[in-house]
Amino acid sequence: MARITASVYTSHIPAVGAAFDLGRTKEDYWKPVFAGYDFDKQWMKTHKPDVIFLVYNDHATAFSLQMIPTFAIMTGPEFNPADEGYGARPVPKVIGDPELASYIASAVIQQDFDLTMVNEIDVDHGLTVPLSCVFGEVKEWPAKIIPFAVNVVQHPVPSGARCLALGRAIGKAIMSYPEDINVHIWGTGGMSHQLQGPRAGLINKEWDNAFLDRLIDDPKGLSQMPNIDYVREAGSEGIELVMWLIARGAMSDVVAGGPKPKVAHRFYHVPASNTAVGHLILENAG
Amino acid sequence: MALDKEFNEIPGTIVFDAEQSRKGYWLNQFCMSLMKAENRARFKANERAYLDEWKMTEEQKQAVLDRDLNRMMALGGNIYFLSKIGATDGKSFQQMAGSMTGMSEHDYRDMMVKGGRRIDGNRRIGEDGDAQRPQKDPAKGR
Ligand SMILES: [Fe+2]
């Protein structure tokens, strides 16, 4: 049977992708940001996933206002990095897992979450920047990737409670897949940032760190926090953090009860461009 | 069901909801068109003529010509869409975000390096934080 062994959480800041692509990772400004991901390189050697279920959001790249799916699972075989107006990022193309993705889609829809299925889509920085941070410069991504997009652009966006419950349904689906594979689930976006209006530049360190604490220890309690709190406390774009609860919901303590996951790595840094960088790796107990 | 009214009570912030989305539909779709190089070239060659191809209001077109991001937001724009105009102009996200605060590019960058804008006084309209001015655009909610 398939196992979910870990969940990974990280910001997905476009400027971090640009710094990476332009070879600026050793500059004083960027060094402390990328240092937060040094741990991952070694950890990945001993915890290598076969498949990554990667939760992100599209930033008016593939989804315009023409279509706004709340939850979309990518069931196609491959996905190219998108041109977001500055040229496509020079990173490997993303290889999907159509079999597992359709299996998850069927299983999750039958648990009453009405997913949109997408077979062709270009993936933006929300998906590719986390991969660059965690894996560094590689010729191909070392795992198959199932992209999963959440609408966090037009309100109302899904609640934390809905995201945690969805994660639980995804976790159940993956654990019932009859192949012996190692799966990671990633939640991306955030942490506190606001990109618009006179309040642009907002950072809320205390709130971000309390979010990390509660994500680790009390995901159910955290999932009850209303969306207005994310927007008010973590900025209009900080609402992306609800996506982290999808990954957290797929961990075994939430899916089946049992011990809390082990914190393998925790990192927080301000700033990268307009944003607070947060990164967490949780290993499933047992 | 409308969003909780508290979403409209955060200073210096316009929450992009269904109402804003309806109002800004063509403004945002115009922005999407700038993802294609040939459209960027046509826009740059004659901005007014390019804008006239879209079902945008005159106010929206003027805000684009003026590169007034706060105004575009008030008229239904969303920052992820509006950023395509910035990309066309060769501006980074930090330059765009900073330009909406009334601060100089240098001062904004400096504020971020020092830990960003503080939350205290900036949670609710009427507190005493630095994001309270300028007040919300009266076009919002009209
Ligand atoms: Fe994002």
Residue B98 buriedness (CB in 10 A; 0-12 / 13-18 / 19+): buried
SS (H, E, C) A228-245: HHHHHHHCCCHHHHHHHH
d(CA A81, CA A100): 21
Q: How many residues would you count in chain B? A: 142
CA dihedral B1, A247, A188, A283 (to 10 degrees): 160
| Per-residue pLDDT at A159 | 98
User: Shortest CB distance from A236 goes to which of B15, B70, B92?
Assistant: B15
Contact (Cβ atoms closer than 8 angstroms) between residue A124 and residue A12: no
Of B79, B116, B132, the CB nearest to A195: B79
Report the pLDDT averaged over residues A119-128: 98
- Token representation of residue A41: 């390189």
Chain A contact present for B96, CB below 8 A: yes
Best mutation target, B3, B9, B13, B125, to test chain A (most A CBs within 10 A): B13
Strand (E) positions, B7-132? none
Enumerate residues 6+ apart whose C-beta is below 8 A from B59: B71, B75, B139
Residue A286 is predicted with a pLDDT of: 67
A15/B100 Cβ within 8 A: no
**HSE-up (13 A, CA, CB side) for residue A95:** 9
Q: What part of B 56-75 touches A (C-beta under 8 Å)?
A: 69-70, 73
* Cβ proximity of A284 and A6 under 8 Å: yes
Q: What are the start-end ranges of the H helices in A176-217?
A: 205-217
Please answer whether residues B129 and B118 qualify as being in contact, where contact means their C-beta atoms are separated by less than 8 angstroms: yes
pLDDT at A44 over 70: yes
Question: Which residue of A199, A207, A229, A273 is the best one to mutate when testing the B interface, meaning the one whose CB has the most B CBs within 10 A?
Answer: A199
Task: Say what the pLDDT of residue B1 is.
Answer: 75
B81-111 per-position pLDDT tens digit:
999 999 999 998 889 999 999 999 999 999 9
- Helix A160-175 and helix A98-109: axis angle, to 10°? 120
The SS3 of residue A137 is coil
Residues 6+ apart with CB under 8 A from B58: none
Which are the catalytic amino acids of A? 125, 193
Closest to A167 measured CA to CA, from A38, A237, A254, A285: A254
The DSSP bridge pattern shows strands A116-118 and A94-95 to be unpaired
Total-model pTM: 0.96
Note whether B83 contacts A205, CB cutoff 8 Å.
Answer: no
**Of A78-82, A84-88, A114-118, A143-147, minimum mean pLDDT range:** A84-88
Residue of chain A nearest B3, judged by CA positions: A156
- Asked if residue B138 has pLDDT above 60, the reply is no
Strand partners, A149: A56, A72
CB contacts of B7 in chain A (<8 Å) are 155, 228, 231
How far apart (Å, rounded) are the C-alpha atoms in residues B44 and B34?
10
The b/e string for B74-85 (b: 16+ C-beta within 10 A; e otherwise) is: bbbbbbbbbbbb
**pLDDT tens figures, B9-44:** 999 999 999 999 999 999 999 999 999 999 999 999
Q: How far is the CA of A210 from the centre of ligand 1 (A)?
A: 20
Cα A88 to middle of ligand 1, angstroms: 17
User: Cα A14–A15–A18 angle (5° rounding)?
Assistant: 95
pLDDT band at residue A85 under the 50/70/90 scheme:
confident
Q: How far apart are alpha carbons A54 and A68 in whole angstroms?
A: 19
Count CB-CB contacts under 10 A for residue A209: 15
Q: Which pLDDT score, from 0 to 100, does residue A146 have?
A: 98
pLDDT tens string B70-83: 999 999 999 999 99
Mean pLDDT computed over A43-57 = 98
What pLDDT band is residue B2 in, cutting at 50, 70 and 90? confident
